[in-house]
Amino acid sequence: MFVIIGYIVSLVCVFGVFILHGGNIGVVLKALPFEMATIGGAAVGAFVVNNQPKVIKATMKAIPVALKGSKYTKARYMELMAMLYDILQKARKEGLMAIEKDVEAPAESEIFNKYPTVGSDHHVIEFMTDYLRMMVSGNLNSHEIEALMESEIDTHHQEAHAPVAALNRVAGALPAFGIVAAVLGVVNTMGSVGQPPSVLGGMVGSALVGTFLGILLAYAFVEPLAGLVEQKAEDAAKELQCIKNTLLASMQGYNPATAIEFGRKVLFSGDRPSFLELESHVKGRK
């Protein structure tokens, strides 16, 4: 919703002020479809050439997600940490082997099913169960598991930022494509040099719409969208870091209540529940 509002505000301010200053919006609207086809087509073609199919697919998936509200809320994080608390508490009371069934068949686990929001998130459950499985096996110490976690989170970071880089490259190219469209418009105008000044003026004005449109699309639409996708990627990484810190704290001997504190502390302040909020939530879930 806020993305759409932001785009509308940009368009209203740009075109509204232009009209209030006596600008002829008809010239812009008349040229808009042709300039849009030139600039947009060139941008799409360059985007396809510049990115591997996996990056193109990731970008197409990231854009709709960015347009929606963030799923990484305080409520989600409290549910995640309550789930971590339950699984670690079970392991502490009954032994690590007691959670083997939960880890091997998370879809059938009573603990994971108790938390439908994060329990149904494939990426969260896969990340968590992979390292719980290593903890159960006992073949790796906390430093080795931490190194593996860091490698996986780094890989996730690189994959999540590929669409960001792709969108930023498109944003950087759009003003140049606008100039290309404008030059073509000027070439077309020069070919009609015998026309009356009023006609030539309209053709020059149409040509300049290309430059305007390329800059507007770059800095009011595509680049802000890339920034939003990047912020969503950072939120997703924080969730994995929360799991990492909690599990490592547990491996180092801290009780479940203290271990989830290690996870809570890495969250962004705006989404981080307070100590009392989390404690109350965890106790309420028992």
Are 1 and 69 within 8 A, CB to CB? Answer: yes
pLDDT at 220: 93
The mean pLDDT value for 74-95 works out to 92
Q: What is the overall mean pLDDT for the chain?
A: 88
Predicted confidence (pLDDT) at residue 100 exceeds the cutoff of 80: yes
Distances from the Cα of 264 to the Cα of 71, 129, 187, 231, 257, angstroms = 17, 19, 61, 19, 11
How confident is the model over 240-283, as pLDDT tens digits? Answer: 999 999 999 999 989 999 999 999 999 998 889 998 888 888 87
Residue type, 13: C
**With bands split at pLDDT 50, 70 and 90, how would you rate the model's confidence at 76?**
very high
Please give the Cα distance from 3 to 166 (Å, whole number).
Answer: 19
Predicted confidence (pLDDT) at residue 14 exceeds the cutoff of 70: yes
pLDDT at 34: 86
User: Which stretch of 108-112, 162-166, 218-222 has the lowest confidence by average pLDDT?
Assistant: 108-112
User: Which stretch of 120-129, 130-139, 149-158 has the lowest confidence by average pLDDT?
Assistant: 130-139
User: Which stretch of 14-23, 25-34, 140-149, 267-276 has the lowest confidence by average pLDDT?
Assistant: 25-34
**With bands split at pLDDT 50, 70 and 90, how would you rate the model's confidence at 194?**
low
**With bands split at pLDDT 50, 70 and 90, how would you rate the model's confidence at 25?**
confident
What stretches of 191-222 show up as alpha helix (H) in DSSP? 197-217
The mean pLDDT value for 179-201 works out to 73
Nearest to 68 by CA among 208, 232, 184: 232
Predicted confidence (pLDDT) at residue 155 exceeds the cutoff of 90: yes
More confident residue, 195 or 268: 268
What pTM value is reported for the model? 0.83
pLDDT at 198: 61
**With bands split at pLDDT 50, 70 and 90, how would you rate the model's confidence at 190?**
confident
pLDDT at 201: 66
pLDDT at 285: 59
